[in-house]
Amino acid sequence: MKKLKDFLLLSDRGYADLKKAILACTLTNLAMVLPFMVTVMLFKEILLYFTAGEINWQHMWLLWGAGIVSAVIVFLAAKNDYRKTYIASYKESNHTRERIAEHLTRLPMSFYNTKDLTEITTNMMSDCSAMESMLSSTIPPLIANMISSTITCLLLALFEWRLALCIFVTIPFAFMIIWASKKRQKKLFEKQVEEKLTASDRIQEYLEGMKVVRSCNMAGESFENLKQVLTRLKKISVKVELAVGVFMSSASMVLQAGIGITVFVGCRLLIQGKVELLTLLMFLLMATRMYGPILAILGQLSSLLNLDVVTKRMRTLLNAPEMSGNRPCTPGGSICLEHVSFGYNEEETIKDVSLTIRPGETVAFVGPSGSGKSTLTKLIARFWDVSEGRITYGGDDIRQLAPGGLMKNFSFVFQDVTLFQDTILNNIRMGKENATDEEVLEAAKKAFCDEFVSRLPDGYETVLGENGGTLSGGERQRISIARAILKDAPVIILDEATASLDPENEVFVQQAIANLSENKTVIMIAHRLRTITGADQIFVLEQGRVKESGTHAELLEQKGLYKKLFRLQNSMAG
């Protein structure tokens, strides 16, 4: 059972619930024998009428009462069975999804460079649903049937061991057919999972790129690409169903052959006077009772045999190494980069960068596109770990600090804002989970959100569409700034927050950023150099290296890359 716990990735509570579910299913199976026993005894009383010419009505009424009692017992057992299997499996499935979601927050961003979001979504939804189905309707009944069948077999053997053997002799052969087909089914199942992921990825790509597809009048061509993927998925799904159907049908035929064997042997024994008619009748009734649940389980056994494909992917996800570090993080202090190098793949993006950002300073990173500005800020916030060198915050290597504690010291305002399908109030509250409504509204006012929220029908209780699609870029940016104001972290990272805004929205956003940046350490990524002329330090990057550094005036005097970029932007503006 311990191996089963590890195989199904169960928590301690889930493992305990599984054992309770197996016990509950076993009790239900044994309870189902009671009505059959009452039925057999009723037949016995009826047969006495044909042999003795009378019916013992006292016995008949007692049997009717026993039938009612057995029905109540079966109902209570089934109710307990449902609670211990289905409800417990739903709770465990929800717990597994929460484990995955929590684990994902502790993984380095490099993990997401190598994983497709469609695959992660499939892990959390489809794979968890598959395990939920196994935990509720397959594994407990399967193990319970094995236990109850063994107990029933031993009890029946006390009456007539030859007939008991006839009933159960086909069960091992039926399961052997399923087990022998495992390798073939697993290969097809893996191919089907692969095609499902590809199809999901293509569907998402097609929907997200609908504007481009329609604007380029490529709907037919793009749909043909999607159609090919869906056709491949259809073909492999048909193959899977065909293979499963053939093996399941074969196993079912072998299993139910036990009824014919029982009838044949039983009739021979009855003719020879070695068994009574009532005993034969009881065995025939038990055969139909035993085979019904086993046939139902055989239909899902192929999914159980291939469940290792699902659990293997989930195990890979849950075993992905989390970001290290457990030292408490002290707010404030200088940020120092010491000979830092980093590359997403083999090619280095950041090359031997050393710089210091003192508390309360406003620092700007500028340079041509692809020079490493955004990468550098993400390294400072430890979205990735450096390949060489180190980054310290308050004198401590950030790789030794607890990731959650470090992140509390940083607020971000990105150019591309991410909002969630929730109320504006809750989107802002993400900056500080336990913030009161008054604190949220105060942060919103400082970010100048009142200007557009007052026009919405439900105000701050307005539920935003997907990624705030109903708002303009500037309005979405102000919500992001309000979130950062509420968080009140000592370090602010601004990734060209006003680059794509119209003049009116830019004014509001610049004022909101001024409120956000008050008494903070500010790290800016700037494309519009006129916005960072007042910065305490400006670092000019080119091809992953710091080429120049200083104030705006000092860099103009150096007559290097910064002056060239500044004069170019001014001439374009003119």
Q: pLDDT by residue (tens digit) across 526-557?
A: 777 777 888 889 999 988 899 989 988 888 88
Question: Cα–Cα distance between 15 and 108 in angstroms, integer?
Answer: 30
Q: Do 70 and 34 form a contact (C-beta atoms < 8 A)?
A: yes
pLDDT digits (tens, 9 = 90+) for 306-327: 677 777 778 888 888 888 888 8
**Above 90 in pLDDT, residue 338?**
yes
Length in residues, the chain: 574
- Among the ranges given (10-14, 74-78, 111-115, 194-198), the one the predictor scored with the smallest mean pLDDT: 111-115
The band of 332, judged by pLDDT with boundaries at 50, 70 and 90, is confident
Q: What is the pLDDT of residues 386-423, one digit of tens each?
A: 889 999 998 889 989 888 888 888 888 887 788 888 88
Q: Of 38-47, 296-305, 476-485, give the lowest mean pLDDT range.
A: 296-305
Beta bridge partners of 550: 538
- Alpha-carbon distance of 376 to 524, in angstroms, equals 11
Residue 181's region, left for phi above 0, alpha for psi from -120 to 50, else beta, is alpha
Q: What is the pLDDT of residues 81-113, one digit of tens each?
A: 888 888 888 888 888 888 888 888 888 877 776
Can you list the pairs that 157-164 forms with residues at least 24 positions away whose Cβ atoms lie under 8 Å?
159/279, 159/282, 159/283, 160/269, 160/275, 160/279, 160/283, 162/265, 162/269, 163/262, 163/265, 163/266, 163/269, 163/275, 163/279, 163/280, 163/283, 164/283
Chain segment 228-242, per-residue pLDDT in tens: 888 888 888 888 888
Res. 211 pLDDT band, cuts 50 70 90: low
Predicted confidence (pLDDT) per residue in 472-493, tens digit:
878 888 888 888 888 888 998 8
Residue 342 carries which DSSP code? Answer: E
The full set of domains in the chain, from first to last, is: 2-318 (1.20.1560.10), 335-573 (3.40.50.300)
Contact 165, 210 (CB under 8 A): no
Which residue in the block uniquely carries the two structure tokens 């399961």? Answer: 175
* pTM for the model: 0.67
